[in-house]
Amino acid sequence: MKTLDVIMVTLLIVGGFNWGLVGLMNFDLVATILGNMTILSRIIYAVVGISAIYLALAVSSMRRRWSM
């Protein structure tokens, strides 16, 4: 489960970085690399969203797993 936690946190950081670029510079890195709203870019957005939901629901169990 710790590996899944690390993957999800990494995805959330990458997604946050992308949204920071959108907000500050009006530059969407995912759309630039994969195309604007192509199936691949939509999959990336969905996976980042799923990782955010996972982390929001798993905070208390992650504290126990990571001994925080």
Q: Stretch 21-33: mean pLDDT, rounded?
A: 96
pTM: 0.79
Q: What's the pLDDT band for 68 if we cut at 50, 70, 90?
A: low
Between the alpha carbon of residue 10 and those of residues 1, 38, 49, 68, the distances in Å are 14, 22, 12, 19
CA dist 20 and 32 (Å) reads: 15
> Are 41 and 30 contacting, i.e. CB atoms less than 8 angstroms apart?
yes
pLDDT tens per residue across span 37-49: 999 999 999 999 9
